[in-house]
Chains A and B, each alone.
Chain A
C-alpha cells in the first residue's frame, strides 16, 4: 500500500484511506452506486494501476463495465486488507531430476573427523536433508573402529548451540568481515617491514597438515614471527619423558590387543586421550569372556583418584600421585631397567609387596605386557616406563614408537611462557589466537590476560565469546568442525579430511581462512585451502602421488581417512643410565621432581581435566553438563575429591564448602568424599567456573585454574584445605552405592569361573518357568533382546550421550537433577564393593529391560505402555496421561517422566538437531528406552523391500553403536545364531531381579576379574 504514495505521488492518486472513508458513508443500494461512481473516476483507475501494476494491462481501453466491476470488487476487497503486503510471484519448482542420494526421510552418512586436543577421531555423521543430527564412529578409522566417546556424541549439540558467537566483533561491537580483513591487511603491511618481528600466533595443538603448511608458509614470509601452542590438557610430560628416554620426541603407541599384563601408573588410557576409544576396544577385546574363553588379560593400576581405567583394574593400588614416581623407580630397579639410588619416597610394606608381585607378573609376560604412565606423572616416570618396556621386550610387540604426530611437537607450557614474556616486554604487536581460551585456562603464574593489554592488536578466533575474546580487539566466530573444511591426524598419524556437513550456521570462519587472510589471500575459502594443499603438497608428502587427485580426494572423503598415512614404527633405544641421576633431565622438568622430595605426608593436589566438560570447552553443552561424571555421578559441576579417611581427619563432610590454598592462591569449592581416593591427596577437576560460559555453563562449578601453576600443572604438594562452614548442594544422580546384597553386578574371579562356569547364575537362580499362573507367550517373529557384557563395559558414558542424541532426550538442569528428575534413558549404575577406603568399583548400564512380563504394562490405566509382538515394551506418548504408576511399578526404575515441559520447543537452532524419527515429548508424559524402535523399523522396512529377514547386526541401537568396547549387543533372540543369542546362551548370562518373574529381555554377562594369585592373601 505504501508504494502508492511513493510511486504515484506526482500524479495526485486517490489514497485507499479516502476510498474507504467514502465507502463507509454508503449503505445498501447506495453502496453500489457509489462504487460505480468510484470506478468511473480517473483517480481510481490511477490508484488501481499503482496498486496492481501487473494487472494494469487489463484496464486498457477495451475494458467494459462488467469486467471493470469484477476487478473492482476484487481490488476493493484487497484494499480493505490494509497492511497486507503484496508478495511478488516467485515460482519454485520441484526437483526435475532428483539428486541421486537424497531421499526425503532417509538419512545420509558422511565421513568426517572430530578434532579434540589436536587429535582426530573418525566419524560418520548422520544427516537428514542437510541437517547433521547424530554422530557415529567410523568403523574403518583406527581411532574409532565404529565407536565414539561421549565428547564426540555431544559435539553435535555444540554445533547448534545458540550461544555460539555469531558475528565478527571489534571491541565488543558487531563488525564486519570486510573491516576485519582491512585490519589484517594493515597488520601485514606493518609486519612486512619488520619481517614479522611483532607478529605472534597462538594455536592449540596442531596436527592438521594443511594448517601446519599454512603456518610454515606464513613463517617463511615473516621469518621473525613466532608460532606458539598451548592448551590446558597438553602432553608436555609425555613429550619430555620421551626426550628423556630417547633424546628425541617420539610418539608411543600401545597394542593392548596383544598385551596380557598391563601396568598403568595413573594413565586413564581407557577414557582420556587421542586413542582412548581404540585402546578401550583393544583392551577389552582380551577380557570379553565370550564363547567360553578362559583366558583374559590382567590390569594393574596405581593412581590417586579413581578413574575409569582404575575401576577396571584387577589390582588397583591407591597411592598418592606424588609417590608414584617412587613406585616407578623401585619397579624399574627391580626389572633392571634403571640403576640408581634407593627409593626416594618411602614405600610401605604393602606397596613393596605389590611392586614385587607386579614385577614378577610382568617378567612372566615378557613381550606381552605394557607399562605406561599418565600425563600427570613427571617425565622421569614416562622415561622409566619406556625403559621398563624395553627391558621387558615389549618394544615392537605391545609398544610401538613412531615419529611425532603433532605438526610441531614442542613443550607447550614453555611456549606459552615465552609468548607471555614477549608480550610483557612489548615485543608483540599483533597476536592471533586461533582457538582456545588462554585468558581463562592459562596457568595462574603465566598472566596471559594481563599481558594481552600490552598488545596493539589481538585477534581471537573462537566458538564462543569467552574471556579471551573480551580482552582481544577482534573476535572472529569460529566454525564448528561440522561446518568447515580441515584435516586432522589421529593418534597413529592417520590423516582424515574433515568435511563439513552443513554450511556455517553463523558468520563463522575456520582457522585456515583466518590464516589465509593473514597471508593476504582473504578470499580463499576453507575448501580451496584444504584441497589446494592436498593437490599441491599433501599427496606428495604422504607418498600418495600415484592416483589422480580427483580419485584421491573422493576416496579420502568417502573413507573418512587417507589410507596409508599412519606413521610407521621406528626403532629407538633408551639412553643408558636412566634414573641414576637427575642431572640428565632437562631443567624445566625439575620442579615436578622436587615435589616428591617435599614432606611426604603433606596434602598433595592433583589436577585433572573434567571427565565431561573436559578443559572447559564443553561447558555450554547441556548433554555433557548433565552427564553424570563416571566416578562421582556428579552433574553440572565439579568438586574437590578427598578420601573418606582424610575427610574424617579434616572434619570435612560431603557438600561442605572448603577453601583450597595452593601456591598462594585460594579457591572455594564444595567437597566430595570419594571412596577409593588416596589419603592425604585432593583431586580437583578443571574446566568449570568461567564467568562467560553461555546460558548453560555460566555459574556452574568452581574454577580450578587459579590453583594451577606452570610449575605444577598436574600434581603438587602442600595444598591447604579448610572447611569454610558453608554448604553447597550438589546434584548427584546416584546417592546409594551399595548393592544391599542384591546381586545386581555379579562378579567372580577367573579361578571361580574356571571351576564353576555357572557361578553367576547360581547366585540368584531365576524362578522356574511354571512359577507364574499365566501361560508363556512366545513371540514367533522377531524377538528383540539385548545382552550387556559387564566384562567389557568400562562405564565411559558414551552410550548415555548417544542415546540422548538419538532419542531427543531433553536436559533438565541442576535443580531438577537434584530432584532426581534427570531424563537420560540409560543410567550407568555405580557400585562400590568392600571397604569405603579402598573399594572395588563396578559399573552397570541400566535401561529399560523390556520385560516379557512387564509390571509397568498392567498398571497403566489408559494402556499407554504395552507390548509389541516382537517383545518391545512400547510407550505410546500420545496416549499417556501421566499417572506415573508405571514408573512406580517398574522394579528397575528406568522410566523417565516429563515433570515440566523439559523438551525445548522454542529454540530454533536446537530443532535442527532433533532426530526426525523420534517424537519430541510434551510435558506430563512418561518415556524410556525404546530399544531404538526407529532403527528397528528402518531395518525392517529395508528387509521387507528386499523380501528377507532382518540380518543379525543390521539393527544397531544408538548405545550399541557408540560403545567403544562392544559391551552392548542387540538382536533377535529367536535366531539362535545371532550374536545376542549366543551371548545369552553363555554361562555368565543373568538377568536383574529375575525372581520377580519379569523375564527381562536385557540381560548381563557377569563380570570376571583376574587377580594375581600371588596377591590373593592381601
Chain B
C-alpha cells in the first residue's frame, strides 16, 4: 500500500528501508551489540528508574485497592465503570498495532514492517498485560476473578456465556496467548544469534535455554517459516476480533451512547489508530537513543504516519456517524446523549477528543509534517491522549447521562484512579525498558533480508541467515 509513491511526489523511487552500507554482519553486529556489548546508556538507566518508580506507584495503588475496595476510585452509581475500564480499552487498543504489523503486513508482503515488528509485538504484549490487569482490578471482589473462566468445579456453575465480559475473557486471553507465541517464535533465531555471540557464561545459558536449541539448519528454517506463517494466519482474525469483542461490552449494553452497531469496526479502527500512534511515540526516541536511524528509517515513519491518517479518518467517520445516527434513529435518549456529550458536563473531554483524533491527524496530509520527526512525535502523543479521551467520553459520559435523570450524577476520578493509570504506564515502560536492554529489539534475521542483494554473501545456502552472522 504505502510503498507506492504518490503521483507527482518528488520521491519517484521508494526510499530505502535500510541505511546504506549495511551487510549481514554489520546488521547483526549493530543490533546484537545493544544487548551484548554496548554500555547501558545513561538514558536507559534514568528511564528505567522512572518507569520502575511508576511501577511501585502501581503496586501501592493496587495494595490499597485490595485492602479497602474499589471505593477508593471515583466510580459510583450511575457511573459504575470509570478510569479502570477506560484504561483497559485504551491499552487493548494500543496492543493492536503489534499483531497488525506482524501478521497482516507479513501476509501482505509489506517488507518495511521488519524493522518495527519485533518492537511492536513486544509493545503489544506489554500493553495486553496492562490491559488484562484492569478488568481484574476493577472487580468488587477481585479474589474471585477466576469465576469468569469456565473451569470445572464441584458446584457445576459456569460463567454466564451471554455476557460480553465472558467473551472479553476469551478474546483478550486468546490475543495475549497468540501474541506471546508469535513474538516468542519470532525471537528464536535471534535468541540463538545472541546466544552464540555472547561471551558470558550466564547469558549463554539463559539465551541458550530461550533459543530452544535453534541451530539454523535448513530443516529448522523450513519448519520455522511454516509455523510463523501459520501463526500469522491465526493472529490475523484476532486483530479484528479482540477489539470487536471489547466493543461488545458497550454495544450489547442498552445505555444510550453504547448501544450502537457501528462500534465493532469503529473500535477496531480506533485500536489500530492508537496502536500505531504508540509505536511512533516509542520508536522515535528509541531510534534516536540507540542510533537506529538506519534501520527505522524515515520511510518507516512516513508509512506509519500514513496509516495513522487513514485510521484517523475512519475513526472520524465513526464520530460523525454516531452523531448522525443519534438524530436519524429518532431515539430521544440517543439524541439527548449526543447533545449532552457535546454541550454537557463532559463537553471539554468531547471537544478535546475531536481535536486530538480528528483535527490533529489532518496535518499528516502534508509531507513536510510527516518528515518532521518532532512533529510526528507530538501528533502521535496527541492521538494517544485523544484515544484515551474517546473511551472516557464513551464510558463515563454515557453512563452519567442515561435514562433516569434523577440518577444523573457527576463523576470524576480520584487520585487513586490516576495512580493506577500512571502506574500501568510504569508497568508498560518497565517491561519495555527490560525488553530493549535484554532482547534484540529489531528482528536481525528479518532485517538482513532487507540488505541490498549486492551486499549479501554469495555462498549457496546463505540466502538465509546463518547462525554466525
Complex CA distance for A846 and B138, rounded to whole angstroms: 28
In the complex, are the beta carbons of A882 and B332 less than 8 A apart? no
A:891-928 near B, CB below 8 Å? 891-893, 895-901, 922-926
Measured between beta carbons, the chain B residues less than 8 angstroms from A883 are 135, 138-140, 165
* Chain A positions 731 through 773: 1 when the CB is less than 8 Å from some CB of chain B, otherwise 0: 0001111111110100000000000000000000000000000
Complex CA distance for A734 and B74, rounded to whole angstroms: 18
For residue B152, give the distance in angstroms from its CB to the closest CB of chain A: 15
In the complex, are the beta carbons of A892 and B403 less than 8 A apart? yes
> A640 interface residue, CB < 8 Å from B?
no
Complex CA distance for A882 and B164, rounded to whole angstroms: 15
Stretch in contact with the other chain, from B75-83, B121-129, B429-437: B75-83
In the complex, are the beta carbons of A891 and B402 less than 8 A apart? yes
In the complex, are the beta carbons of A899 and B141 less than 8 A apart? no
In the complex, are the beta carbons of B402 and A820 less than 8 A apart? no
Q: How many A-B residue pairs have CB under 8 A?
A: 157
Q: Which of B163, B249, B336, B406 contacts A734 (CB 8 A)?
A: B406
A820-B409, A889-B254 given; A744·B404 CB < 8 A: yes
In the complex, are the beta carbons of B163 and A858 less than 8 A apart? yes
In the complex, are the beta carbons of A821 and B163 less than 8 A apart? no
Q: Which of A735, A737, A861, A893 contacts B148 (CB 8 A)?
A: A861
> A1001 interface residue, CB < 8 Å from B?
no
Q: Which of B78, B140, B160, B406 contacts A861 (CB 8 A)?
A: B160
Complex CA distance for A898 and B403, rounded to whole angstroms: 22
Complex CA distance for A896 and B75, rounded to whole angstroms: 12
Measured between beta carbons, the chain B residues less than 8 angstroms from A829 are 404, 406
> B422 interface residue, CB < 8 Å from A?
no
**A829 to chain B: closest residue by CB:** B406
> B6 interface residue, CB < 8 Å from A?
no
Measured between beta carbons, the chain B residues less than 8 angstroms from A189 are none
* Chain B positions 143 through 158: 1 when the CB is less than 8 Å from some CB of chain A, otherwise 0: 0110110000000011
> B405 interface residue, CB < 8 Å from A?
yes
In the complex, are the beta carbons of B144 and A881 less than 8 A apart? yes
Measured between beta carbons, the chain A residues less than 8 angstroms from B80 are 884-885, 887-888, 897
A736-B406, A879-B157 given; A889·B140 CB < 8 A: no
Complex CA distance for A895 and B164, rounded to whole angstroms: 19
For residue B339, give the distance in angstroms from its CB to the closest CB of chain A: 11
Measured between beta carbons, the chain B residues less than 8 angstroms from A897 are 77, 80, 140
In the complex, are the beta carbons of B254 and A855 less than 8 A apart? yes
In the complex, are the beta carbons of A861 and B159 less than 8 A apart? yes
For residue B127, give the distance in angstroms from its CB to the closest CB of chain A: 22
In the complex, are the beta carbons of B140 and A821 less than 8 A apart? no
In the complex, are the beta carbons of A996 and B159 less than 8 A apart? no
For residue B85, give the distance in angstroms from its CB to the closest CB of chain A: 9
In the complex, are the beta carbons of B157 and A924 less than 8 A apart? no
A858-B162, A882-B140, A901-B69 given; A737·B406 CB < 8 A: yes
B:293-350 near A, CB below 8 Å? 332, 336
Measured between beta carbons, the chain A residues less than 8 angstroms from B138 are 883-884
* Chain B positions 274 through 298: 1 when the CB is less than 8 Å from some CB of chain A, otherwise 0: 0000000000000000000000000
A855-B254, A888-B253 given; A899·B163 CB < 8 A: no
Complex CA distance for A753 and B227, rounded to whole angstroms: 75
In the complex, are the beta carbons of B408 and A742 less than 8 A apart? no
In the complex, are the beta carbons of B403 and A891 less than 8 A apart? yes
A:595-619 near B, CB below 8 Å? none
A859-B253, A899-B71 given; A882·B406 CB < 8 A: no
Measured between beta carbons, the chain A residues less than 8 angstroms from B100 are none
A861-B169, A885-B165, A893-B402 given; A742·B77 CB < 8 A: no
In the complex, are the beta carbons of A863 and B157 less than 8 A apart? yes
Measured between beta carbons, the chain A residues less than 8 angstroms from B332 are 741-742
A:839-882 near B, CB below 8 Å? 846, 855, 858-863, 879-882
In the complex, are the beta carbons of A736 and B405 less than 8 A apart? yes
For residue B251, give the distance in angstroms from its CB to the closest CB of chain A: 12
**A922 to chain B: closest residue by CB:** B141
* Chain B positions 402 through 421: 1 when the CB is less than 8 Å from some CB of chain A, otherwise 0: 11111111100000000000
In the complex, are the beta carbons of A742 and B81 less than 8 A apart? no
In the complex, are the beta carbons of B408 and A735 less than 8 A apart? yes
> A70 interface residue, CB < 8 Å from B?
no
Q: Which of A739, A861, A880, A900 contacts B163 (CB 8 A)?
A: A861
**A899 to chain B: closest residue by CB:** B71
**A734 to chain B: closest residue by CB:** B406
Measured between beta carbons, the chain A residues less than 8 angstroms from B157 are 862-863, 879
For residue A783, give the distance in angstroms from its CB to the closest CB of chain B: 23
Measured between beta carbons, the chain A residues less than 8 angstroms from B142 are 881, 924
Complex CA distance for A858 and B253, rounded to whole angstroms: 9
In the complex, are the beta carbons of A884 and B69 less than 8 A apart? no
Complex CA distance for A509 and B145, rounded to whole angstroms: 53
Complex CA distance for A739 and B144, rounded to whole angstroms: 39
> A819 interface residue, CB < 8 Å from B?
yes
For residue B179, give the distance in angstroms from its CB to the closest CB of chain A: 23
For residue B340, give the distance in angstroms from its CB to the closest CB of chain A: 10
In the complex, are the beta carbons of A859 and B165 less than 8 A apart? yes
A819-B76, A885-B163 given; A899·B70 CB < 8 A: yes
In the complex, are the beta carbons of A739 and B253 less than 8 A apart? no
A744-B404, A891-B403 given; A996·B254 CB < 8 A: yes
**B140 to chain A: closest residue by CB:** A882
Measured between beta carbons, the chain B residues less than 8 angstroms from A922 are 141
Measured between beta carbons, the chain B residues less than 8 angstroms from A900 are 68-69, 71
For residue B77, give the distance in angstroms from its CB to the closest CB of chain A: 6
> A830 interface residue, CB < 8 Å from B?
yes
Among A819, A880, A888, A898, chain B packs the most CB atoms within 10 A around the CB of A888
Complex CA distance for A925 and B142, rounded to whole angstroms: 11
Q: Which of A744, A821, A885 contacts B71 (CB 8 A)?
A: A821
> A993 interface residue, CB < 8 Å from B?
yes
For residue B261, give the distance in angstroms from its CB to the closest CB of chain A: 15
> A827 interface residue, CB < 8 Å from B?
yes
For residue B411, give the distance in angstroms from its CB to the closest CB of chain A: 8
A861-B169, A879-B157, A924-B70 given; A893·B77 CB < 8 A: yes
Measured between beta carbons, the chain A residues less than 8 angstroms from B249 are 885
Measured between beta carbons, the chain A residues less than 8 angstroms from B160 are 858, 860-863
For residue B163, give the distance in angstroms from its CB to the closest CB of chain A: 4
* Chain A positions 808 through 837: 1 when the CB is less than 8 Å from some CB of chain B, otherwise 0: 000000001001110000010111000000
Complex CA distance for A740 and B336, rounded to whole angstroms: 9
Complex CA distance for A827 and B164, rounded to whole angstroms: 29
Complex CA distance for A925 and B143, rounded to whole angstroms: 12
Measured between beta carbons, the chain B residues less than 8 angstroms from A901 are 69
Measured between beta carbons, the chain A residues less than 8 angstroms from B159 are 861-863
Measured between beta carbons, the chain B residues less than 8 angstroms from A996 are 254, 403
> B35 interface residue, CB < 8 Å from A?
no
> B191 interface residue, CB < 8 Å from A?
no
Measured between beta carbons, the chain B residues less than 8 angstroms from A742 are 332, 403, 405
> B2 interface residue, CB < 8 Å from A?
no
Complex CA distance for A694 and B124, rounded to whole angstroms: 55
For residue B455, give the distance in angstroms from its CB to the closest CB of chain A: 55
In the complex, are the beta carbons of A884 and B81 less than 8 A apart? yes
In the complex, are the beta carbons of B336 and A820 less than 8 A apart? no
Given known contacts A859-B162, A885-B163, what 15 new A-B pairs fall within 8 Å (CB)?
A735-B408, A740-B336, A741-B332, A820-B78, A858-B252, A859-B163, A860-B160, A861-B163, A862-B159, A881-B142, A884-B80, A885-B249, A888-B78, A889-B253, A996-B254
Query: Could you jot down 22 A-B contacts, CB within 8 Å?
Result: A735-B408, A737-B405, A740-B405, A742-B403, A819-B74, A820-B407, A855-B254, A858-B252, A859-B162, A859-B164, A861-B148, A862-B148, A862-B160, A863-B157, A881-B142, A885-B80, A887-B78, A888-B78, A888-B81, A893-B404, A900-B71, A925-B141
Binding site for B on A (CB under 8 A): 734-742, 744, 816, 819-821, 827, 829-831, 846, 855, 858-863, 879-885, 887-889, 891-893, 895-901, 922-926, 993, 996
Q: Which 10 A-B pairs have the closest CB atoms?
A: A882-B140, A924-B140, A899-B71, A884-B80, A861-B165, A863-B160, A893-B407, A924-B141, A900-B71, A820-B76
